[in-house]
Amino acid sequence: MDYKGLFAKSLAPHLGELSVEKIYRFIEQPKQLSHGDFAFPCFELAKIKRMAPNKIAEDLATKVKETLFEKVEAVGPYVNVFLDKTQVGTNVIHEILKKKSHYGDSNIGNGGNVPIDMSSPNIAKPFSMGHLRSTVIGNSIALLLKKSGYQPIRINHLGDWGTQFGKLMVAYTKWGEEKKVRQNPIEELLKLYIRFHEEAESNPDLDVEGRKWFKKLEDGDEEAESLWKWFREESLKEFNKIYDLMGITFDSYHGEAFYNDKMAEVLELLEEQNLLTESEGAQVVDLSEHDLPPSLIRKSDGATLYTTRDLAAALYRKRNYDFDQSLYVVGNEQGLHFKQLKLVLEKMGYDWAKDLHHISFGMILKDGKKMSTRKGKVVLLEEVLREAIELAKTNMEEKNPGLENKEEAAKAVGVGAVLFHDLKNHRNNDVEFSLEDMLRIEGETGPYVQYTHARGCSLLEKGGFNGFNDTMYLEEDQTYMWPIISELLSFPNAVQRATEQFDPSIIAKCVVDLAQEFNRYYAHVRVLEDETKKQQRLALVQAVVLVLEEGLRLLGMKAPKQM
Ligand code: ARG
C-alpha cells in the first residue's frame, strides 16, 4: 500500500488545480517522526492562489479525512499527516510476511533489457580496486534493476586486446617459464611485463619486437594467437576466483577482442558520413563544437583504439539486446571517454545514444592515497577478500565459539563487509580502504546489519514464531515500534529511487537505519517476555528480518541466520 499516494489522493479534491501526480511529487517525508509521516508544503500553491501558505495549510488540515490517518495538522506552511499506527503497522507487517523477498518488487522496467558493462579487468594484469568497485556497484545495480522489472545483462568487457600483448609475448618467449605462469598467472605475467619495460629502457629493439608480435597476433599468426588465448584463459581463471568468492556471474565475457571484426563497419559508417578528419596522421572525429578534444578513432599506423572498440560494442549491444538503457560502470577518470563516445554516436545519427549512461565512481584510497597496482605495490584482491574472511572468522570464534557452519558464515561476513563498505557511500565519493573499519560490528557496517539480522532470526527461533495470520499488531507503547514500521514502509520507495538513480547507497542506508531502529526496539521491549504479546512482536521481528535480508541481497550480500 502506498500511503504517500493515499495522502495525495485525499488532498486532490481540495486542490482542483493540481493533479494527483503533481501533488505526489510535492509531498515530503519529514526528517523527524514528530512532524508526522508525510508533509505537504503549500508554498507553490500559495503562489498560484495568491494566498498565504499558512492559511492554505490550516484550511486543508481541516478538510483532509481518511480512516488510515490518525491526525492531520497544519504546522506553519505544511500539512502534516500522521498515519494510524496500529492499522498501518498491521497492514505493512501482513504485506511483508505475505510477499517475503518480493516486498518492494515493481514492474517499472517492463522487461526492458539493460546491458551493464561491469568489472572489465585487463588480461595479464592484476584485478585492481577500481575493477572491484565496478564489479560490486554493477552487480548491485543489476539486482536492483531486476527487482524493478528490467532484464539486466552483466557484461564483462575484458581488456583482452592491445599492444601490451605484443610486449608480453616478447617477454614470455625471452624469459618466461610455462610452469611458473600456470601456477601464478597474474603475478608471473605482471613480472614479465615489468621486466619488459625495465629492459626496454636501455634496449629499444624490444619495443620493435613487441610491435611485430602484436602485428602477428592481429594477422592471426598461430603461435601468437595460442599464447594470447592461454594468457586470457589463465587470467580469467584467476579473476573467477574473485567472482566466485563474491558469488557474481556474468552473462557475457565479450571483451575488446570480440570486436576485432566489427570495427571495419564502424569506420565505414564514419567515413560515409564524412565524420572522420585527419589530425597529425591519425583519424579523429572532431568534437570542438562541444568544446571537447577530438575522439581518436584510428592511429597513424592504422591500428584501432579503445574508443573504436567501444563504438563497435555500443552498436553490437543495441542490435543484440535492443536495450532500453546501456550502462557502463567505470571509474570517474574515464568520464571524457564516455562523453566522447556518446557524442560520436549522436553524430552518427543514433538517437539511442542518449540511453547510454556512464555510471561513474570514485577511487579507493589507502591512507588518503590512490591504491596502486603498478610495480611492486600490487594489492592482490583475492588476498584482501581472504584476509577479510579470516578476520571475520577470528571475530566469530571470540563471540560465538560453538557456531555451526562457521566457514560459510565467515565468508558471508568477510566478503559482505568489503561489499558494504564500498556501497554505503554514494559511488562518486572516494572510499578509504580499511579492513578493520569494514569488519566492525558497531556503526554503519555490513557485519552490523548482518548481526542485527541474525539476532532477529534467533528471536524467532527461540520464541517459536507461529506465522501470524489474520491478527492485529497491537503495541500499547508505540514509541519504539513506529520508527521500525516507518522504515519498513519506505523500503519500496527506496528500491525505486536506488534503481532510477543507479545508487545502491540508498539501500545501504535503508538497512542501516532499519537495523538501528530495530536494535533500539530490542533494547527497550522484552520481545519474548509477555506470552500474550509475543507472537505479535515476533511478527514485527519477522518483517524486519525479511526486509534486512532482501536489502542485503540487493547489495550482493548474504544474511546468515547465525553468526
Ligand atoms: N578495461 C578497462 C579498464 O580497466 C575498462 C573497460 C570499461 N568498459 C568499456 N566498455 N570501456 O580501464
Report CA 233 to chain centroid distance, whole Å: 27
Its sign, for the CA torsion 116, 119, 122, 123, is negative
Q: How far is the CA of 171 from the centre of ligand 1 (A)?
A: 24
Q: Tell me 256's DSSP state.
A: G
Residue to probe by mutation, ligand 1, list 304, 307, 330, 359, most atoms within 8 Å of CB: 330
Q: Between residues 368 and 514, which one has the greater pLDDT?
A: 514
* Three cell numbers written together for 338: 564516455
Q: Give the closest residue (by CA) to ligand 1 atom 1.
A: 159
Query: pLDDT tens-digit profile of 478-502?
Result: 999 999 999 999 999 999 999 999 9
ipTM, interface predicted TM-score of the complex: 0.99
Query: pLDDT tens-digit profile of 403-415?
Result: 988 999 999 999 9
* Three cell numbers written together for 351: 538517437
Amino acid at 37: D
Question: Which atom of ligand 1 is closest in space to residue 313's alpha carbon?
Answer: 10
CB 115 within 8 A of CB 155: yes
Q: Give percent of the chain above pLDDT 70.
A: 98
Flag whether pLDDT at 375 surpasses 70. Answer: no
Average pLDDT estimate for 422-428: 96
Residue 423's SS3 state is helix
Q: Which residue has the cell 592511429?
A: 299
Q: How far is the CA of 376 from the centre of ligand 1 (A)?
A: 23
What pLDDT is attached to residue 97? 96
Is 43 a member of any domain? yes
CATH number of residue 73's parent domain: 3.30.1360.70
Lowest mean pLDDT among 100-104, 207-211, 506-510: 207-211
What pLDDT is attached to residue 262? 95
CB 480 within 8 A of CB 399: no
What pLDDT is attached to residue 313? 98
Query: pLDDT tens-digit profile of 247-275?
Result: 999 999 999 999 999 999 999 999 999 99
Average pLDDT estimate for 280-300: 94
Which residues constitute the domain of residue 28?
3-83
Mention every residue, 6+ apart, whose C-beta is less than 8 A from residue 184.
none
What pLDDT is attached to residue 142? 98
Is 28 a member of any domain? yes
Flag whether pLDDT at 45 surpasses 50. Answer: yes
- In DSSP terms, 193 is beta-bridged to none
Give the separation between CA 190 and CA 550, rounded to whole angstroms.
40
Beta pairing, strands 364-366 & 369-370: antiparallel
Give the separation between CA 125 and CA 158, rounded to whole angstroms.
11
Beta pairing, strands 78-83 & 38-41: antiparallel
Is 42 a member of any domain? yes
Give the separation between CA 486 and CA 89, rounded to whole angstroms.
9
Flag whether pLDDT at 374 surpasses 80. Answer: no
Q: How far is CA 507 from CA 324, 362, 418, 435, 475, in A?
A: 23, 19, 16, 22, 28
Vertex 154: Cα angle to 152 and 157 (nearest 5):
140
Flag whether pLDDT at 51 surpasses 70. Answer: yes
Q: Give the closest residue (by CA) to ligand 1 atom 4.
A: 121
With bands split at pLDDT 50, 70 and 90, how would you rate the model's confidence at 373?
A: low
Q: Between residues 367 and 345, which one has the greater pLDDT?
A: 345
Is 129 a member of any domain? no
- In DSSP terms, 521 is beta-bridged to none
Question: How many CB atoms within 10 Å of residue 355?
Answer: 16
What pLDDT is attached to residue 469? 83
Q: How far is the CA of 335 from the centre of ligand 1 (A)?
A: 12
Q: How far is the CA of 135 from the centre of ligand 1 (A)?
A: 12
Is 25 a member of any domain? yes
Flag whether pLDDT at 86 surpasses 50. Answer: yes
Query: pLDDT tens-digit profile of 191-235?
Result: 999 999 999 999 999 999 999 999 999 889 999 999 999 999 999
What pLDDT is attached to residue 379? 54
Q: How far is the CA of 331 from the centre of ligand 1 (A)?
A: 9
Q: Give the closest residue (by CA) to ligand 1 atom 5.
A: 120
Question: Which atom of ligand 1 is closest in space to residue 338's alpha carbon?
Answer: 11
* Three cell numbers written together for 434: 580499511
Q: How far is the CA of 330 from the centre of ligand 1 (A)?
A: 7
* Three cell numbers written together for 420: 558494504
Q: How far is CA 383 from CA 125, 127, 137, 232, 378, in A?
A: 15, 11, 20, 21, 11
Q: How far is the CA of 98 from the centre of ligand 1 (A)?
A: 42
CB 557 within 8 A of CB 419: yes
Determine if the pTM surpasses 0.90: yes
Average pLDDT estimate for 494-515: 98
Q: How far is the CA of 367 from the centre of ligand 1 (A)?
A: 26
Question: Which atom of ligand 1 is closest in space to residue 159's alpha carbon?
Answer: 1
Q: How far is the CA of 5 from the centre of ligand 1 (A)?
A: 42
With bands split at pLDDT 50, 70 and 90, how would you rate the model's confidence at 184?
A: confident
Give the separation between CA 506 and CA 502, rounded to whole angstroms.
9
Q: How far is CA 333 from CA 314, 354, 369, 395, in A?
A: 20, 20, 15, 37
* Three cell numbers written together for 370: 590512490
Is 401 a member of any domain? no
- Domains in the chain, number: 1
What pLDDT is attached to residue 371? 73
Residue to probe by mutation, ligand 1, list 157, 239, 306, most atoms within 8 Å of CB: 157
Is 90 a member of any domain? no
Residue to probe by mutation, ligand 1, list 116, 118, 119, 120, most atoms within 8 Å of CB: 120
Ligand 1 binding pocket, CB closer than 6 Å:
117, 120, 122, 157, 159, 310, 313, 328, 330
- In DSSP terms, 431 is beta-bridged to 364
CB 547 within 8 A of CB 103: yes
Is 75 a member of any domain? yes
Flag whether pLDDT at 378 surpasses 60. Answer: no
